[in-house]
Chain A
Amino acid sequence: MSFLRRNPSVPVFLGLLLVFTLTVTLMSEAYGGGLSTSFVKTLGKTLCLALVAVAMDLVWGYTGILSLGHFAFFGLGGYMIGMWLMYARTEAIVVSSMANAEIPATPQEITDAVGAQIFGVVGSSDFPAIWLFADSLAMQLVLVVAVPGLLALVFGWLAFRSRVTGVYLSILTQAMTLALSLYLFQNNSGLRGNNGLSGLQNLPGADAIPQSVMSVWFLWTSALALGLGYLLAAFVVSGKFGSVLRGIRDNEARVRFLGYPVERYKLFIFTLTAVMAGIAGALYYPQAGIINPAEIAPIASIYLAVWVAIGGRGRLYGAVIGAGFVSLVSTWFTGGRAPDIDLGFYTIKWVDWWTVLLGLSFVCVTIFAPKGIGGLVDLALSRRAPDRHGADLGPDLGSLREKEAEE
C-alpha cells in the first residue's frame, strides 16, 4: 500500500486504463457500439506501443541509455509468436485439405506441404533450424521472452563492459538494429526475407470467433500487459534501485565511485526492457496481421525515442501519453482523413507533409519543452524542476532521491 501511496500516478493510471478499456469494449462493434473492428485493433496496437514506450522510458528516461534498438526487440517478439501462428494455421489448412485425399497423409508429407506453403515465396520448402519449436505454442511463448532477452543480455554485456556510453552506445545499438533487419531481409534468413510473416490475425483453432470479438480480446490482453508492465516499471524505478538508475543517468562516474556496480544495473534494466518490448511485440503483431523486416529498421526505434520524448521522459505516464498521442495522430494524418489546407498557390496534403510536421515539432519539443506533454501535469500541479540545462544535479542537492528533483 505504501508503494501506491508514494506513487499516486500508478492507481490513477491503472484506473484510467480500466475505464478506457471498458469504454472501448462497450462501444466496440462486437458489443453493438459504433467503433469499427479496425479501430479497436488500432487502439489495441496503441496499447502495445505504449508498453514498449514504457520500456523505452525505463531505459532512456530513467537510466539515460538512449537505446535505438528496442524496436528490434519488439519485432523479435513479434517474429517469435508469428512463427507459431503461421505454422499452426498453415498446418491446420494443410491437414484439412489433405483429409480429403484418397489415402491418409504421412507426418512427413504434412511437414513437407506446410514447409512448401510457408517457404514457397522464398523458393524453398525446407524448415530452417530456427523453426524447430514452431509447432509448440508454449516453446514459442518462451522464445518471445528468451530471444530478445538473450540478445539484449549478450549485446548489453559486450557494450557496457567496454564502457561504451552516450551517443556511442546509441550508434552501436542502431548498428545492431540495422544488422538484424538487414539479416532478416535476406531470403535465406529462414524468416521469409522481406515477405515477412503474414496472416497472423487468424488465430489457429479460433476460426469460429469473429474478428470483432477477437479484437476486443486482444484489447483486454494488451491492456492487461500494459497495466502489469506499468506496475513493474513503477516498482523498479521507485525505492533505492530507482535512485541508483537516476544516479547513473545524471552522473555515471559518481555512482560507480560510490561503489555501485553500474554495469550490472544497466545490464539488468536493458535486458528487462528488452523482454518487455518482446512481449509488447508478441501482442502487437497478431493484431497487425503482418510483420516484415522493415518494421524493425533503425528508424522505428528512433520513432520510439521520439514518442517518449514528446510524451515526456522520466515519467512513466509520459511515455504512454507520447506513444498513444503520436501514433494515433500519425494514423489520423497518414490515413488521409486530415483535411488538406489550400494556401492558394499550394495545397498542403497531410499525407505528404505530416512527416515534416512531426520532425519539426519534435525539434521544437526538444528545445522548448524537454518535459514533453507530461510536463503539462507538472504545470497543473504547479511542480517545478530545477533548470539544469543538462548539467549535473550535483551532490549538494541531496544524495538519495526516490523521485525526480523538485525545486
Chain B
Amino acid sequence: MLRFLLAAVLFCASLAAPLRAQETLSPMQALMQAHAAEITKGSRKGIEPAITAIAGSGLPAAETVLEAWQAKEIYRRKDDGLFFRGEEPEKGLFRLHDLESGAAVGDYPKDAVDQLKPNSGIRAMIAAALVPFQLQSPDRVKRENALQAIQRDAEASHLAALRASIDSETDAGLKALKIRLERLLTIRFDPDEAARIDAIGYFSGDLSVDVRASLNPLLATRRLATTEGPAPEWNLAGEVEVGAGDFSPAQAYALLVGQGLARPRISPAEFRAALIAHIADGKVGGVPVAELDSEAARERAYAALADQGLVPATATAAELAQALDSHRFFDVYAEPAPAVTDAARATLHSIETKLALNQFADLSLDALSLASIYFLAAIGLAITFGVMGVINMAHGEFIMMGAYTGYVVQTLIPNYTVSILVALPLAFAVTFAAGVAMERLVIRWLYNRPLETLLATFGISIALQQIAKNIFGTQARPLTSPGWLDGALVLNDVVAISYIRIAIFVLALFFLGLFLFLMKRTRFGLDIRAVTQNPAMAASMGINPDRVNMLTFGLGSGIAGIAGVAIGLYAKVTSELGSDYIVQSFMTVVVGGVGNIWGALFGATMIGFLQKGIEVFNPSNTLAAQTYMIIFIIIFIQFRPRGIIALKGRAAGD
C-alpha cells in the first residue's frame, strides 16, 4: 500500500514539472517542448510530426520559427531546455531571442546553449512545410520560389494552400501559374473523382512536358495473370497475348511465378550448377555425364535428382507451356476509377494529336534548314556541272577552305560579328581564286574528258585535304557565331529553331535571289546561259567560252566558300568537313537536275526533307537514315534519270 502511494506521488511529481513550466510558456514554445525529443534528436524519420505540428499550428510565429530552423538559427538553452532564436554577434557569444515576440533574452556563452543543426534532408522537409506560408507572402520573389518548389516536388498538403492563395494573388503571371499548378495538383492529389476529371479535361491539347508527366502516371498499368476472366473491380486496360510485342513466354512465366500461380523454374546457370554438383561415379541421376549434351538428357537427369530429393524440383518445359496455356494476362490500371483513366486517355490523345502536328512543324523547320545547307553546298556544283559538264570532286574541299578562312579571320579579329562580316567576302575571294586557278591549271586541259576531270579533281581534293590537315592539325577548330546568333527562336515547348539555322536559311534565300538576278538580268548571266545551251554556237556569236567557263567555275567555287563559313558556324571545322557534304551535294545535283538553280533548290529541299523524314522513324540512327536516303535516290534516278528538272534539247548533251 505504502509502496503504491509512493509511486503515485512520484508519478504526479514527474508530471507536475513540465505542466508547471507549460503554464508560463508561450504556445509556440509549448508546442516545441512537446516535440523536444524529436527536434533535438534531428533524425529524419522522427522529425516529420514535429514539423507538421509547427506548420499546422496556425500560430503567427510558425513561419519565422521554421525559417530560423532551416537557417540553423534555433538554439536550446541547456539549463531549462527552452528553444530560442539566436544569433552570434561575436565569436563564442550567443544572443537569444524569444520565439514569438523576438525580444532579446540575454547573451550566453557557447557551452550554455545547443544549436539545432538540421541536416539537408530535414531542411528540405522544412522547406516543403514552408511553402504554404510563402505562397501567401507579400514578397513576389518568395511566392515565385514557392511555386518553383511545388513544381519540383509537390505534396498533397500543397493543394489546399495553393487553392487558398489563388484569390489573393495580385501578380497576373503568378496567378496563371498558380491556377495551372492547382489543376496539376488536383489531378494528383484531390480525393474527389469529379474534380480530378475536371482538372484532366482542363489540359486538353496542352503541350507542356509537366502535363504529360502528371497524366502518364494515371495510366500506369501492372500486369496480372488469372485463370478466369478479369475480376470486376479491375480497371482494365486490355488483355495481353503471350509472345505478342515484347511480352516473351519467359516473362509471362516469371509473372505467374511472382503471383504464386506456378512453380518456379530455376535459371539455366543454376540448373547446370546443380547437375555438376551431383556428379557421382561419372553419372548424374543415373545418366552418364557424356550423354548430357542435350537438353532432354539433362532434364531427365535433373528430374531423377529431384525425385531423390537432392535438388529442389523445377518446372519442366511442358509444365511451363501448360501454365501459359491455362492463364490469361491482363494489364490493369493502378488507378481504380475508370472515369479518371478514360479522361486521362482522352486528354493525352488530344495532346498527342497536337503534339504530332507541332513535331511535324518542328521537323519541317529542321528539314528546311538542312535543305538550305545542302542548297548552299550544291549550288556551285550544279552551276559548274551545268555549264561545263565538269564534276568537281574538290568542291567539298572548297567548302572546307571557306570554313578555315572563317576560322583564320576569327583568330585575327576578336569581335565575332565583325569577323563573320569580313569572313564571308574573304571566303568568297579565297575560293574564287582557288577555283579560277584550278580551272586554268587543270580542268581547261580536260574538256571533253569528263571522267578524267572527275579523277583529276579528286586528286586535287585529297591533296587539299591533306594540306589542310598538315596546316591546321586533325582536331576540330571552332568557328564561333556572334552572340546575337546564339539561342533559338522558341515558339512553344515543341517547336524551336536556332537563330544560326535561320541565318543560314536567309543566306540561302539571298544567294537564290542573287543568282537569279545574275543569270536573268546581267550580261554575264546571258553568256553563261548561252554557253550552257550550246558552247559552239555561243563562241561563234562572239562569246569567249573559255572566259565564261573560268568565271563560272570561280563563281561556283566562291559560293562553296561562303557555304563553308555557314556550315562551320554550326558544325566544327575539320579537314574532313568537305567530304562530309560532298556526296549529299552530288545527290542534290543529281536529283535536282544539272545546270539549273531551281533544280538545285528542289533537289536540296527533297533531300533535306527526306533525310529528316527518315530520321523520324529511327531518330537514334542517322547512319541508317543516310543509307535509306541513298537507296531511295538510286531508285528515284530510275524514274527521272536526269533529275527533277532536266535540260532538254541540245543542252542536254545527247
Q: Are A108 and B630 in contact (CB under 8 A)?
A: no
A97 within 8 A of B: no
Counting contact residues on chain A (CB < 8 A from B), the size range is 35 or more
> What chain B residues lie within 8 Å of A172 (beta carbons)?
590, 634, 637
A362-B454 CB under 8 A given contacts A105-B293, A158-B638, A179-B630: no
Q: Is A253 interfacial (CB 8 A cutoff)? A: yes
Q: Is there contact, CB below 8 Å, between B454 and A158?
A: no
Which residues of B59-104 have CB atoms within 8 Å of chain A's CB atoms?
A: none
Q: Are B459 and A366 in contact (CB under 8 A)?
A: yes
Query: Are B462 and A359 neighbours in the complex by a CB distance under 8 Å?
Result: yes
Q: Considering the chains assembled together, what is the distance between the CA atoms of A40 and B259 in angstroms?
A: 67
CB distance from A174 to the nearest CB of B (A): 7
- If the complex has contacts A302-B458, A356-B467, are A106 and B293 also in contact, measured as CB distance less than 8 A? yes
Which residues of chain A in 165-220 are interfacial with respect to chain B, using CB atoms and an 8 Å cutoff? 166-168, 170-172, 174-176, 178-179, 182-183, 185-186
Total residues of chain B contacting the partner, CB 8 A: 58
How far is it, in angstroms, between the C-alpha of A373 and the C-alpha of B442 when the chains are bound?
A: 20
On whether the beta carbons of B466 and A356 are closer than 8 Å, the reply is yes
- Contact call A166/B469, Cβ cutoff below 8 A: no
| A103 contacts B by Cβ under 8 Å | yes
- Which of B275, B455, B587, B626 has most A Cβ within 10 Å? B455
Q: Which residues of B contact A355 (CB under 8 A)?
A: 462-463, 465-466
Q: Does A86 contact B (CB under 8 A)?
A: no
Binary CB contact string for chain B from 447 to 458 against chain A (1 if under 8 A, 0 otherwise)? 111111011101
Given contacts A158-B635, A166-B450, A253-B654, contact A185 B587 (CB under 8 A): no
Residues of A within 8 A of B621 (CB): 186
With a cutoff of 8 Å between Cβ atoms, the chain B residues found around residue A298 in the complex are 583
CB of A106, distance to nearest CB on chain B (Å) = 5
Partner of A175, one of B460, B466, B634: B634
Are the C-beta atoms of B455 and A309 separated by less than 8 Å? yes
Query: Is A353's CB within 8 Å of the partner chain B?
Result: yes
Task: Select the residue from B284, B579, B624 with max chain A CB neighbours within 10 A.
Answer: B624
Rounded to whole Å, the gap between the CB of B323 and the closest CB of chain A is 22
Give A306 to B393 CA distance when docked, in angstroms: 14
B637 touches A182 (CB 8 A): no
B534: chain A residues at CB < 8 Å are: none
Contacts of A395 in B (CB 8 A): none
Q: Mark A148-170, 1 if CB is under 8 A from B, else 0.
A: 00000001001101111011101
B-binding residues in A (CB < 8 A): 60, 64, 66, 102-108, 155, 158-159, 161-164, 166-168, 170-172, 174-176, 178-179, 182-183, 185-186, 253, 298-299, 302, 305-306, 309, 352-353, 355-356, 358-363, 366-367, 370, 389-391
Interface of B with A (CB < 8 Å)? 272, 275-276, 279, 284, 289-290, 292-295, 298, 385, 391, 442, 445-452, 454-456, 458-467, 469-470, 579, 583, 586-587, 590, 621, 623-624, 626-627, 630-631, 633-635, 637-639, 641, 654
> What are some 28 contacts across the A-B interface (CB < 8 A)?
A64-B451, A102-B289, A103-B289, A103-B293, A103-B298, A104-B292, A104-B293, A105-B293, A158-B635, A162-B638, A167-B385, A174-B586, A175-B586, A175-B587, A175-B633, A175-B634, A179-B626, A182-B630, A183-B623, A186-B627, A302-B458, A306-B458, A352-B470, A359-B461, A359-B463, A362-B456, A366-B446, A366-B456
In order of increasing CB-CB distance, the 4 nearest A-B pairs are A359-B463, A362-B459, A179-B630, A390-B448
